[in-house]
Amino acid sequence: MSHFSQIKTQIRNVDSLKDALSDLGVDWKHGPREVRGYRGQTHNAEVTIEQENGYDIGFKWNGKEYELVADLQYWQQNLSVEGFLRQVTQRYAYHTVVKETARVGFQVAEQQKTEDGSIRLLVQRWSA
């Protein structure tokens, strides 16, 4: 019986995911690599996070989005699974917005972190 859980996300761009994890100080590895679980079970993932206890966390492409794959019984992060995904998703959204606006000619003119932890961005584009 598999102990792995697969949690859906709205994450679709692996580069923004990697940037988000790096922002959070997470030591991640580029895949495909095996995510290690209970009794030697494994799952392949495009991004893995090794934990000191030998049970990994991974982000696996399901054809639409990256799912978090882990044996949650052995979760060994500073935050809960929900808190971790909330932070990753926020930084992912930030990088996605910045990259997409830059792609269409905008630059970040100002950014503010609000009291509730959200980020406010002001982007602008100069026209000749």
Segment 5-59, tens digit of pLDDT? 999 999 999 999 999 999 999 999 998 999 998 888 888 999 999 999 999 999 9
Residue 96: enclosing H or E segment and its boundaries?
helix 81-103
**pLDDT tens profile 95-127:** 999 999 988 888 888 888 888 878 888 888 887
Cβ neighbours of residue 15 under 8 Å, at least 6 residues apart? Answer: 95, 99
Cβ neighbours of residue 127 under 8 Å, at least 6 residues apart? Answer: none
Name the DSSP letter for residue 64. Answer: S
pTM for this entry: 0.85
Write down the pLDDT at residue 2.
59
User: How many angstroms separate the CA atoms of 116 and 101, rounded?
Assistant: 24
